[in-house]
Every structure is written in structure tokens, then in C-alpha cells.
Amino acid sequence: MTELRKAEVVDDDSRFADFVAERADALLRYGYVLSGNPHDAADLTQETLIRLHRAWPRVHRKHDPESYARTTMARLHVSAWRLRRRERLVWDLPEGSHLDTLPSGVEQELWQALGALPRKQRAVLVLRYYEQLTDEEIAGVLGVSRGTVRSHASLGLGRLRSAVPDPAGTGTAGPAGPGPAGSTGPGAPNPTTTGGRTR
């Protein structure tokens, strides 16, 4: 190996370590929203970072590493669903200090309802309302058609609306107002409204 190549490898490893230090907690939260429990979230995050490390020289030069990681996580999540079609999901607050506050009554009901959705419906809603991806982008991430994305979104939203009361009388389920864009914890954008996005 030439000295130049050795220097590139060291630089790549350093950049990857910086990325992990900066973004691992956010990826873990994203994994939790996708999977519904902290153990699967940790597994998703670990496997994603392993795959990202293998692809790092190519990814960090040509692509956005975080986008690559989130796409990988979504695909791993759906693949796991295919392997384990029967799964009992229970409400369990994520471990650690990554949540600023515990969810209030209605927010907790919304998170429970989201966690109880079938994996594909949950993945579509997370990608649409938390990642702000278009239906076409979601279809690409999950390897399905746009019609399938819309179907999963419609079914998932229907289940959320029937599971969560409408305390403010707004005609939508869950908290009355969305949280900050890109948020993945309690107070995050309400996945039962489109947030003004055109579908």
C-alpha cells in the first residue's frame, strides 16, 4: 500500500469516526421510531453503521452519509419485518437520555398507536412525516411502487385516527400542533396530518 493510499485510509477512518460521534444518537432515535423498541433500534443502528463503514470511501465522496444511513436503516427494518412477520409490539420508552421529556397522555397514545402499526405502514409514515420524503423517494427506499406507499400510508393513518382521540376537535388524531421539522421524539410532527405537503 502506498503512503498516499495509507493517508487516505486514515483520513476516511477519521471522518467516519467523526460522523459516528456526531450522528449515532440521531440514528438510534430514528431506529427507535422505525422499530418501536430500543433493542431493535440498537441492532438497526449497529448494522447500519457496519454497512456504512464498508461503503464509507464511496459514500462520503459521492453521497450524503446520513441519507445513506437512513435509507439503509429503513431497508433493514423492512427486511427484518419480512423475516419476522409475527411480532408482538409493546409500548416501552426508549432507554437513555435522548428524550427531553416523557410523552404526555395523547402523545403517548399516538406513539403507542404508531408502534402497534405493521412494520411497513410504520416505515412509510416515519419516512413521510419524520424524514419528509416524497412518495416517490419512499418507494425507492423501500423497493415498492408509489401506489403501495400510498396504500400503506392510508391504512396506517386510518389506524392512527381510530386509535388516538381528537382532544382539540381539529378533525385529526394526536397532538394539535406539529413539533420542529425533522424531530423524531415526542412533540414531533403529527403523522396524522399532511403538514401542508401535497401528495
SS3 165: coil
pTM of the predicted structure, to 2 decimals: 0.52
Q: Which domains does the chain have, with CATH numbers?
A: 1-85 (1.10.1740), 100-184 (1.10.10.10)
Whether the per-residue pLDDT at 167 is higher than 60: the answer is: no
pLDDT by residue (tens digit) across 106-131?
777 888 888 889 988 998 998 898 88
pLDDT for 3: 60
pLDDT for 101: 53
List of residues 6+ apart from 174 with CB closer than 8 A = 106, 107, 109, 110, 160, 164, 190, 191, 192
Residue 106 contacts residue 112 (beta carbons within 8 Å): no
Distances in Å between the alpha carbon of 57 and those of 5, 46, 51, 90? 12, 19, 12, 39
State the DSSP H helix or E strand holding residue 10, giving kind and residue range, or none if neither: helix 3-35
Cell of 107: 402523545
pLDDT by residue (tens digit) across 151-165?
999 999 999 888 887
pLDDT for 84: 59
